[in-house]
A and B are shown apart, each in its own frame.
Chain A
Amino acid sequence: MRDYTHYSSNDFFWDASFRQWVLAPTRESDAFWQQWLAQHSQKQSVISQARSLVLAVGVRELPLSDDDMQQAVRKASLRSQQPLENPSSETPIRPLPVYRQTWFQLAASVLLVLGGYWLWATQYQPTPTTLTDRLTYQHQVADQPVKLVETVNNTLNTMPVRLSDGSLVMLRPQARISYAAQLSGPRREVYLSGEAFFEVQKDPSKPFLIYANGLVTKVLGTSFLIRANPADKDVTVEVKTGRVAVFAQSDPERNQKITDRELSGVVLLPNQKIIYAREAVRLTKSLVENPVMVAPPSARSAFVFDETPLPRVFDALEKAYSVDIVYDESLFANCPLTATLTDQPLFEKLDIICRVSQVQYAVLDGQIIIQGQGCKP
């Protein structure tokens, strides 16, 4: 028999029976807890605090509907009944020589037609002047001074592509990306056509940029999905974890946005999505007027501190740079900071904070750890 009478709300948070009642109550558990509450009405507020803790503190899970799940099971069941083909995960499939596969023969004839048109369009027409055309995948890649590596997904499944910095790109069928073999230089840049899911390695010193049909997506380290199909009028970006910034490639401030250590443009948070209309970018104004792309207040004013407690300072840095700063909140809660840090890059900001507030910082596993004596109130 467990005596709940002296439990604090944190204690209830960790209690299996309590959690089950809050998250997935049964008639039995509900009866028990309602009765207990009736007998211990003085615990009403503790219980309701604990209840909101259980509901609020958890892990953000990807949604999965019952329908999706049933469909997945049905699909797998059907596949399992097909005569043994080469399983994709076992022995590597030795494809028929390309010229013998029927799809190639068909695609070849189609390709010829398309290819013909393309040749005609570029060779015998005046060079395309519309912005949209210039920002297509082919043109972007062709314009690059350095020869890029291209990976195309011609399979029916998602194809993982690992880049030299450790980032992972999950190309959907028919998608393709181009990138420098060694992602050296001040930025990591990738060109995308089609749909792909990105898991970008954290590297605040080298922003990761994806150019797709006129939209630039900039990240420091996160995961998200981009849909930039050649035939689509829109480009879609959906964020799963971390934060990304998007802006139009034709944006007059784009060079600054590209090189800034901070994220500016429209910043997307996890589970947010943006749809960018390619054609509309012809008129820069209409892009700004689009309600979805409201420009955030300049990040610069966020770095003027006047007797600001350190936790708030660290918060502002975390948001602007998309980094994790680990520190003991109670230790630093009473340490005020007065400083203007707008123009320095991140680590210089930290240096100043450390000198003024007498703390040290270290970077470990992509996180910034703050240590110090703290301040007695």
Chain B
Amino acid sequence: MSESNSHNAPDALNAGRLRANRQLDEQAVWTRFRAGDQRAFEDLMTTHYRTLFRYGNRFSADPEFIKDSIQDLFLYLWERRVSLHPEVSVKPYLLVSLRRQMHRKKTGKLVNESLTDETEPGFQVEFSVEEQFIEDEAAVRRAEQLKKLLNTLPARQKEVVYLRFFQELSRDEIAGVMSITPQTVSNLLQLAFRQLRNSQGIELLLPLLWLVSTCW
């Protein structure tokens, strides 16, 4: 009989363990990066490239611009590696920095200029339905309905739902990226689900709330 719990979905416990391991590794790479290890530069960039690219896509639809910005970001950090904070939550830090970088480039501001007086551009995400994965009309309608509901969520709820379910960020990472507290992240998710539930007129089960508040 294998060790793994055959009754439990292999997620909560394992995911927690995996995440802890990943964080240790990330810290190690970050330390080496700050120390000027060329290999760490490549590791860091490779590890986070796709996440950064997808996040950058929320602020621009131009792939070349997104790639340029990611490159500029890493070169900028590399140049300042000595003055980088030794202990940061790497992923949120990179995501926020990319967002700032792209905004500055678009508005022509210099990196050191303060952004305090500006509202940054909206986070844009549009949910869509790929019909080739659906076989019957009823399912298409259901998918379209879900998509419509998701697209009409208020901006911040939409952002949290996207980052949690479609980018698989943890609650803390989302808090870091959006500059809000982890509790606010949970609250926004709950609001989103309440709205989805009411609009659909379907009772989403209580286990869903459990999912939202405790599993991470």
Which residue numbers of A lie inside 8 Å of B, CB to CB?
1-4, 6-11, 13-20, 26, 28-29, 32, 35, 49, 52-53, 55-62, 64, 69-70, 72-77, 79-81, 84, 87-92, 157-158, 160, 162, 168, 170, 172, 197, 199, 223, 225, 240-241, 326, 328-330
- With both chains docked as a complex, state the minimum distance between the C-beta of A65 and any C-beta of chain B, in angstroms: 11
B46 within 8 A of A: yes
CA distance A87 to B142 in the complex (A): 50
Extra contacts, 20 of them, besides A55-B133, A64-B50 (Cβ < 8 A), are A2-B207, A16-B215, A17-B11, A29-B10, A32-B6, A57-B128, A57-B146, A57-B150, A60-B128, A64-B63, A69-B46, A73-B45, A73-B46, A77-B38, A88-B72, A89-B72, A89-B76, A89-B101, A90-B76, A92-B110
Nearest-Cβ distance from residue A30 to partner chain B, whole angstroms: 10
- Give how many B residues have a beta carbon under 8 Å from the other chain's beta carbons: 79
A9, B141: Cα distance in complex, Å: 14
Residue in B57, B67, B125, B146 whose beta carbon sits within 8 Å of that of A53 in the complex: B146
B79 interface residue per 8 A CB criterion: yes
- Listed by A's residue number, 19 A-B pairs whose Cβ atoms lie within 8 Å are A1-B8, A9-B142, A14-B193, A17-B11, A26-B10, A29-B9, A35-B6, A49-B139, A53-B142, A59-B162, A60-B128, A69-B46, A76-B41, A77-B38, A81-B38, A89-B76, A89-B105, A197-B64, A197-B65
B32-53 toward A: CB 8 Å interface, digit per residue (1/0)?
Answer: 0000001001100110011001
Given the known interface contacts A11-B205, A52-B139, A240-B61, the answer about A17 and B9 at a Cβ–Cβ threshold of 8 Å is: yes
Q: What distance in Å separates the Cβ of A20 from its nearest Cβ neighbour in chain B?
A: 7
Beyond A8-B202, A58-B130, A69-B46, whether A158 also contacts B65 by CB under 8 A is yes
Q: How far is the CA of A61 from the CA of B115 in the complex (A)?
A: 28
The 5 closest A-B pairs by CB, nearest first: A55-B133, A17-B9, A240-B61, A17-B11, A223-B61
Q: Which of A3, A11, A92, A172 is the most central at the interface, judged by chain B CB atoms within 10 Å of its CB?
A: A11
Partner of A10, one of B7, B204, B207: B204
Alpha-carbon distance A240/B126, docked complex (angstroms): 12
Please tell me if the beta carbons of A62 and B66 are within 8 angstroms of each other in the complex.
yes
* Chain B residues, CB < 8 A from A172: 64
Establish whether residues B207 and A11, one from each chain, have CB atoms under 8 Å apart when the complex forms: yes
A-B pair number, CB within 8 angstroms:
189
Q: Which residue of B lies closest to A172 (CB)?
A: B64
B148 touches A15 (CB 8 A): no
A76 in complex: contacting residue of B45, B79, B105, CB < 8 Å: B45
B145 within 8 A of A: yes
Known: A35-B6, A62-B57, A89-B105. A11 touches B208 (CB 8 A): yes
The answer to whether B61 touches A241, judged by C-beta atoms less than 8 angstroms apart, is: yes
Question: Contact mask B121-143 → A, CB, 8 Å, 1/0?
Answer: 00001111111011100010011
* CB pair A58 B75 closer than 8 Å: no
**Cβ contact within 8 Å between A76 and B125:** no
> With A32-B6, A92-B110 in contact, do A15 and B130 touch (Cβ < 8 Å)?
no
Chain A nearest CB from B58 CB (Å) reads 9
